[in-house]
Amino acid sequence: MLNLIAGLDRPTSGSVVVQGSDLAGMSREALANYRLRTVGMVFQSFNLIPSMTLMENVELPMRFAEVDRDLRQGLSRKALERVGLSSRVRHRPVELSGGEQQRAALARALINQPQLLLADEPTGNLDSHTGTEIMELIREFNESLGMTVVMVTHERALAERYVKRMIFLADGKLMGDESNALANLTNTQGVRA
Amino acid sequence: MKAYDLADLAARNLRQSLLRNSLTTVGISVGVASLVAMLSLGIGLQQLASRRLQKSGLFDTVVVMSRRDLRNFNREQQNSGPAPADSPALDEAARQQIERLPNVREAYPDIRFITELRYEGKPHLTMVAGLPFSTKNNDAFDGMQGTFFSSETAPEVILQKAFAEELLGKRPKPGADEANVAELAKPLLGQELLMRYTERVENPGSPKSAGESRLTTRNEADDLPQASYSVFFREQKLKIVGLSDLDPDSMRGAARARVFLPLTLAEDLHVMQPSNLRDTSRTLGGSATYATISVRVTSPKYVQPVEDAIRKMGFNTFSITDATRSLRQFFAVLDLFLGIFGSLALAVASIGIVNTLVMAILERRREIGIMKALGASDRDVKKLFFAEAGAMGVMGGAVGVALGWMIGRVINVGTNVYLRRQNIPPEQIWAVPWWLVAGAIGFAILVSLVSGMYPAGRAARLDPVQALRYE
């Protein structure tokens, strides 16, 4: 489902409408631009490029967005500071713990200021303590930056603690949709899958 | 993606598998090197050949003959243009007129006569020819002993080897090696010869120029004595300054004699020419005419226009331009073949590029998937692979040109060592003009980019979902 929303995959039937435009009808080029500017992705296995330092990893989406070289350094340093990695900017992913890697991945996902953050089991490879740290960060960004977060997880307990709306999927079928009674929906984007 | 980001990422990727990419680049270098080496030799040989031809004076010379002459061997020229009787005389005025034509370096008369030369009191009959001073730079006298004429009017002679043998009373033994020019030169250089000849002296009242000679074509008996001159018997002392090993039967026009005088001296002596006597029997006028005039043009490419201009003046001409044309054709074909053989190695190298990049796709599958997930377009990925292929092309091209330059140089040095052992003067048989350098590097880049087309396309079409799942 996340692949469909991210524009990485195309639906065999039906449509995926984000911000009023149908992803199914977009060209490959337009989808790439959509991934670049509208969505940010966080993966279970972090997916940082091992040969690049954290700084370079965070810079990468800005290269595709053709942000000026002089501007990029400052922006990526600030993004890494925000996730508490200011002392690790010159490190490579293998030199870091899983939690640190996921925080760097989060910084990378947010660097182009997306309106939509897609998280594919972001805590799946982390111990529960670090997982909570990551979730706190995501919530913080959700509130401070005002973007919608769509997260896929197997941990119902974790999800219940943070989400405003839960959708249950099993074997590709929609099993349930419940809004968290405590949540007041601040986002206006509709997500259909 | 911006160009510097593309270059940066490409360089980073190339560094990632340094050994493999270096080996691929070496492959391209070898291909470019073989191409450069082959073509540098082809071009060098061509330059050598045209240098030689230029020096030989064969291909920048037009021989001019009068149409009145009986020596018309070209049917086409025979049947076009003015009738022989109406055509102008080939005399001094005509020579000056020809020399004033554009792109003409010089026009000199062909002066030759058979006469007697005395050496140590003994007479020797032989053909004597006037040699223009510009011949000094021809390769015809490369193997000469002694020196060239000290001035254009110096009473000096250069002897042909066979004549020197005759003077010294040596007979070439059948089956024996050719006589050594240096040995023959020793007793002869600096010695004196006495040349006996007949001088033609115009009688007073005789018309001198070609323009006036036209008047005498009126068939009035009173005019006939105007075409008269006297013949005097003279002697001239000549110093032997040089000895040439030229074969008197070689095809060079001026070389078909056994004794050579400076041309200006020969002209000043007013030696009676064989054609003079023939002209006297015809009502052509009193001024001396030349049998042929040799015209040297500034460059072989001007031979044709100069020939046309001279024919328009009413003379017959002869040149060997066709030979240069077919020579150029030969070298074009030779270069083509050398280029094809040289390119074979580059073709093999291009397969190496494809291989390397396809390997890189497999290795970097996940990375490509990540880049696409982060917003890289198909075009970005494609450009990245093209940049990597192009970078290998640039490096391989540059290294290859240097390598090819060295190979060509080594072959040149090796050839010259061999030539020197064979007692042949060394030659530059190898040339790397700037366009070959630029062309080879450009060609390497082109081949690399074409080779990169398939891998780049494949990388661009990679499905990110599949790629991200790939561990």
HSE-CB at B296 with a 13 A cutoff on CA atoms is: 18
pLDDT in tens, A28-76: 888 899 999 899 999 988 899 999 999 999 999 999 999 888 899 899 9
In this predicted structure, the answer to whether residue B206 has a pLDDT above a threshold of 60 is: no
Cα B48 to Cα B429: distance, rounded to the nearest angstrom: 6
The verdict on residue A160 lying in a domain is yes
pLDDT score of B167 more than 50: yes
Neighbours of B350 (CB within 10 A): 25
- For B465, the closest of A8, A60, A108 (CB atoms) is A8
Rounded to an integer, the average pLDDT of B20-40 is 92
| pLDDT of A183 over the 50 cut | no
Q: In terms of DSSP bridges, do strands A21-22 and B192-202 run parallel, antiparallel, or are they unpaired?
A: unpaired
pLDDT of residue B318: 80
The residues spanned by each domain of chain B are 3-54+326-469, 60-319
Segment B112-130, tens digit of pLDDT = 888 888 888 888 888 888 8
pLDDT tens-digit series, residues B192-201: 889 988 888 8
Q: What residue type is assigned to position B74 of the chain?
A: N
Domain ranges, residue A28: 2-179
- At A48 the pLDDT is 92
Among A49-58, B178-187, B239-248, the range of highest mean pLDDT: A49-58
A32 occurs within a structural domain: yes
Within a domain: A112:
yes
**What are the pLDDT digits (tens) for B447-465?**
999 999 999 999 999 888 8
Q: Where residue A61 sits, what CATH number does that domain have?
A: 3.40.50.300
Cβ burial, residue A185 (10 Å; 0-12/13-18/19+): exposed
Q: How many domains does chain A have?
A: 1
**Percent of chain A at pLDDT above 70?**
92
Given CB atoms, is B5 within the 8 Å cutoff of chain A? yes
Does any domain span residue A99? yes
Instruction: With respect to residue A137, please indicate whether it lies within any of the assigned structural domains.
Output: yes
Are B375 and A29 an interchain contact pair (Cβ–Cβ within 8 Å)? Answer: no
User: Which is more confidently placed, B415 or B273?
Assistant: B415
The model's confidence at residue B158, banded by pLDDT at 50, 70 and 90, is: confident
Asked if A36 has any chain B CB less than 8 Å from its own CB, the reply is: yes
Residue B469 forms contact with A (CB below 8 Å): no
Q: Mean pLDDT lowest for which of B99-108, B394-403, B453-462? A: B99-108
Query: Does B372 contact A8 at a Cβ distance shorter than 8 Å?
Result: yes
Q: Say which residue, B186 or B394, is predicted with more confidence.
A: B394
Q: What is the pLDDT of residues B314-341, one digit of tens each?
A: 888 888 776 667 777 888 898 899 889 8
Please state, in angstroms and rounded to a whole number, the distance separating the CA atoms of residues B202 and B1. Answer: 91
B32, B440 contact by CB (below 8 A) = yes
CA distance A59 to chain B (A): 11
Q: Is B4 on the interface with A (CB under 8 A)?
A: yes
Higher pLDDT, B131 or B213: B131
Please report the pLDDT score of residue B74 as a whole number. Answer: 56
**CA of residue A21 relative to chain centroid, distance:** 20
Q: Residue A6 and residue B379: Cβ atoms within 8 Å?
A: no
Please name which of B34, B101, B111 lies closest in space to residue B290, comparing C-alpha atoms.
Answer: B111
Mean pLDDT of B29-47: 89
Q: At what angle do helices B18-56 and B434-461 cross, to 10 degrees?
A: 150
C-alpha distances in angstroms, A40 versus A117, A192, B220, B385, B438? 5, 17, 116, 25, 46
More confident residue, B11 or B207: B11
Tell me what pLDDT residue B138 has: 67
Q: Map residue B244 onto helix, strand or coil.
A: strand
Mean pLDDT of chain A: 84
Give the residue from chain A lying closest to B15, CA to CA.
A51
Q: Which residues of B touch A64 (CB under 8 A)?
A: 1, 371, 374-377, 380
A184 part of a folded domain? no
Q: Do B377 and A9 touch (CB under 8 A)?
A: no
What pLDDT sits at residue A189?
Answer: 35
Q: How far apart are CA B408 and CA B411, in angstroms?
A: 5
Which residues in chain B touch residue A28, judged by CB atoms under 8 angstroms apart? 377-378
User: Quick one: what percent of chain B has pLDDT higher than 70?
Assistant: 79
**What average pLDDT does chain B have?**
81
Summarize the confidence of residues B424-444 as an average pLDDT.
87
The residues near B155 (Cβ < 8 Å, ≥ 6 apart) are: B236, B237, B238, B239, B265
| pLDDT(B216) > 60 | no
Q: Would the pLDDT of B202 be above 50?
A: yes
* pLDDT at residue B300 greater than cutoff 80: no
- Among A119-123, B57-61, B240-244, B374-378, the least confident range: B57-61
SS3 assignment, position B468: helix
Give the closest residue to B69 by CA, choosing from B44, B93, B43, B90.
B90
Tell which residue, B187, B198, B171, has the closest CA to residue B120: B187
Q: Do the Cβ atoms of A35 and B367 come within 8 Å?
A: no
Contact assignment for A8 to B380 by CB distance below 8 Å: no
- pLDDT (0 to 100) of residue B227: 55
Asked if residue A96 is part of any domain, the answer here is: yes
Number of alpha carbons in the 13 Å side-chain half-sphere of residue A80: 23
Tokens 């296995």, located at residue: A45
Q: Which residue has the tokens 């501007």?
A: A71
Assigned token pair, A177: 């949709």
Residue (of B231, B228, B219, B232) closest to B287 by Cα position: B228
- Tell the residue number behind the tokens 């992913």, with chain if given: A93
High-pLDDT (> 90) share of chain B, % = 18
Name the CA dihedral angle for B15, B16, B19, B23, rounded to a multiple of 10 degrees.
-70
pLDDT of the residue at B447? 92
Task: Point out which residues pair with B197 in neighbouring strands.
Answer: B234
pLDDT band of B189, cuts 50, 70, 90:
confident
B252 CB-near residues (< 8 Å, 6+ apart): B56, B57, B58, B140, B246
Distance CA A24, CA A17 (A): 8
